Structure 1
Amino acid sequence: MDDDRRPARDGTRPPRDDSRAARWEDRAELPLACASMLYLAAYAVHVLATGIASVWHDVCLSVLFAMWAAFALDYAVRWRLSGRGVGFVRTHWLDTVVLILPLLRPLRIVKVYQAVAHRQGRPRLSLQGRVATYAGLATGLLGFAGALAVYQAERYAPGASIRTFGDALWWTCSTFATVGYGDVVPVTVRGRIIAAGMMACGLGLLGAVTGSFSSWLFQVFAREGDAKPPGS
């Protein structure tokens, strides 16, 4: 959603973007967020529920394919409505990456928040609060998805140290926190590729939270300085 649709500082709203692309995003964002959660749930059942009948695994795979088809349809419609051709891919690189790797859809949670805030009229949280909320939700969802992916890649690999989903969650926490104890590490090529992506996401989210916190502290100290009486 474009920045020119955000509320102004005086509480008034700029003219609404009534283009077809904007209307499509308004209507599709929340249903696609639900589809994302359904995709993640189906993937979790497929990976973790090893003792269920094979027909349920087929159902999970069907759900995964159907949700991905919905994501692809949304991408195609927005590309078509933009009228920008290849330029749409360059300016919507995150959407392109998420289409290729649907487990990264939690990174689009900002779009979901913008859609909700737009319907409510104005944001209810400060900038720092929005950044912290986004980073927290994105970290939780991406961490869970990454743990599932690395567990699926590693659990049956020869010499693997990630044998249980608990191991995968522990590895995810240490990776996101940039600690890297080294007690459990991925040994497969697929697992290491997932690890590289999670390291990049962890650093980015950690940087966002740190920057937001620093900005908040700066504003607090600046207000305290302005509140001091002259000559004090």
Structure 2
Amino acid sequence: MDDVSSEPGARWEDRTEIPLALAALCFLGAYASLVLAPGLPSGWHDLCLTVLLAAWALFLLDYAVRWRLSGRRWGFVRTHPLDTVTLLLPLLRPLRIVRFYDAVQRHHGRPRLPLYGRVMVYAGLSAVLVGFSGALAVYSQERYAPGATMTTFGDAVWWTCSTLATVGYGDIVPITPLGRLIAVGMMACGLALLGAVTGSFSSWLIHRFTRPDETEPPGG
């Protein structure tokens, strides 16, 4: 049976995942510069726009090549919803960090962290990157809106932290339609990441406290 890594699509992903991760960081940095420094000189402003367009062009090229190599046409779109979403919304590209981590691990051999640790690290990095991206996106929509409560980037970061933690104090809320749409996405990400961390931690506790002669956790 042929190794999966010998398939053209798998080889392409192995070779491009790390460069695309770096392109995603450049995209995020350029977008952050445009949002947080609206008074940039025209030269720097144009450079940031060029980086945004170049990074997105790389994402589009990667998607097109993998779609072509899969040979499944619309089947590829149905089985890769995250890739499709991140192509349309590049700020969500950090959600692909798990593939970047897998690519690094394949180059180093055996994973250095156990499964539970890898899940927690992935969830933590995803929360930071998605939180920062979400704060930028919602702040860009809210800061100039009449009657907005989110007038500084610090307000956006505070709102993002409370939203991802599923706390939602309500002292700062988005009021624009697009800002509220972003909020819905942030809530979904917060629930997913929190569920991943708590589930992994619970599994680790069960594994640690279950005796070898037990087939079920205590009290099961």
TM-score, normalized by the shorter chain, greater than 0.5 = yes
Question: Counterparts of 1:56-71 in structure 2 under 5 Å?
Answer: 56-71=44-59
Report deviation, 1:217. 0.3
Return the match for 2:147 from 139, 151, 159.
159
Provide the C-alpha distance between the structure 2 equivalents of 1:103 and 1:174, rounded to a whole number of angstroms: 20
SS of alignment partner, residue 39 of structure 2: coil
Fraction of identical pairs, as percent = 67
Provide the C-alpha distance between the structure 2 equivalents of 1:24 and 1:134, rounded to a whole number of angstroms: 23
Q: Would you say 1:95 and 2:63 are equivalent positions? A: no
Question: Counterparts of 1:190-205 in structure 2 under 5 Å?
Answer: 190-205=178-193
Amino acid of the structure 2 residue aligned with 1:206:
L
Q: In structure 2, what is the equivalent of residue 46 of structure 1?
A: 34
Report deviation, 1:223. 4.1
SS of alignment partner, residue 5 of structure 2: coil
Provide the C-alpha distance between the structure 1 equivalents of 2:213 and 2:153, rounded to a whole number of angstroms: 50
Question: Counterparts of 1:65-214 in structure 2 under 5 Å?
Answer: 65-214=53-202
Amino acid of the structure 2 residue aligned with 1:76:
A
* 2:131 and 2:161 in contact (8 A); partners too: yes
CA deviations 1:159-210 (Å, max 9, x no partner) are 1000000000000001001111111100000100000000000000000000
Q: Would you say 1:30 and 2:24 are equivalent positions? A: no
* 2:119 and 2:196 in contact (8 A); partners too: yes
CA deviations 1:83-117 (Å, max 9, x no partner) are 11100001101100010000001110110011111
Unaligned runs of 5+ in 1: 1-13, 227-232
Provide the C-alpha distance between the structure 1 equivalents of 2:85 and 2:143, rounded to a whole number of angstroms: 26
Runs (4 or more) in structure 1 with deviation over 2 Å come to 14-17, 223-226
CA deviations 1:30-72 (Å, max 9, x no partner) are 0000000000000000100123213322211111011000000
SS of alignment partner, residue 17 of structure 1: helix
Unaligned runs of 5+ in 2: 215-220
Provide the C-alpha distance between the structure 2 equivalents of 1:57 and 1:225, rounded to a whole number of angstroms: 65
SS of alignment partner, residue 151 of structure 2: coil
- Number of aligned residue pairs: 214
Normalised to the residue count of structure 1, the TM-score between the two structures is: 0.89
* 2:34 and 2:45 in contact (8 A); partners too: yes
Report deviation, 1:15. 4.0
Provide the C-alpha distance between the structure 1 equivalents of 2:64 and 2:21, rounded to a whole number of angstroms: 17
Change (3 A) 1:225 1:168: farther
Normalised to the residue count of structure 2, the TM-score between the two structures is: 0.94
Amino acid of the structure 2 residue aligned with 1:23:
R
What is the RMSD computed on CA atoms of the aligned residues?
Answer: 1.5
